[in-house]
Amino acid sequence: MDKRKTKKEIVKMLLNVDLLEQDEEELLDLLIDQPIAIDVDKQEEQKMTFGDRVADKISAIAGSWGFILMFIIFLLGWIILNTVILADKDQIDPYPFILLNLVLSCIAALQAPIIMMSQNRQAEKDSLRNQNDYRTDLKSELILESLHDDLDKISKNQKRILRLLESEKENEK
């Protein structure tokens, strides 16, 4: 059994419209006239909540070299402050830096789910983009198939006309 969809089913799926009894030419004209591509970024931006925007900003900052370098400077500063500068005085966090460990654990516990939320949203956006690309490709394929059929018809008609012209030439002789 051939499970390929008909052109009518594909056009119906692409346009999300119930189609009446229409011939293939009308379907293709309808498909050509209707844009099916969407701006995924714009559509996703309209649905974003305040929390989504904050998660994206935090992910953008936490995933940058600037953040990594600043964090390394903070860690080195903390260690130097507690081992060299405050060595003779009451240290804020003496070696083995238990307070620093607690701060780092808290940052990691908060940062990981925020980054994952941002990645999940990006994955949804990529999925929408893939669906949009598929629909656009399917539309292009249908239109190209129609053009190919039309070119075949034109070619056959040209050959038929040439044969008729040649037969008329022979009949004139």
3-state helix, strand, coil in the chain (%, to 5): 80, 0, 20
Higher-confidence position of 89 and 24: 89
Which two structure tokens, joined as six digits, stand for 113? 């789910």
Residue 19 pLDDT > 60: no
The 3-state secondary structure of 136-173, one letter per residue: HHHHHHHHHHHHHHHHHHHHHHHHHHHHHHHHHHHHHC
Rounded distance, CA 77 to CA 71, Å? Answer: 10
Residue 23 pLDDT > 80: no
Residue 3 pLDDT > 70: no
Model confidence band, residue 15 (pLDDT cutoffs 50, 70, 90): low
Rounded distance, CA 78 to CA 92, Å? Answer: 9
Higher-confidence position of 63 and 105: 105
Higher-confidence position of 12 and 52: 52
| Weakest-pLDDT range from 22-26, 63-67, 81-85, 132-136 | 22-26
Rounded distance, CA 53 to CA 140, Å? Answer: 35
Q: What's residue 32's pLDDT?
A: 74
- Per-domain residue ranges of the chain: 35-140
Q: What pTM was computed for the model?
A: 0.62
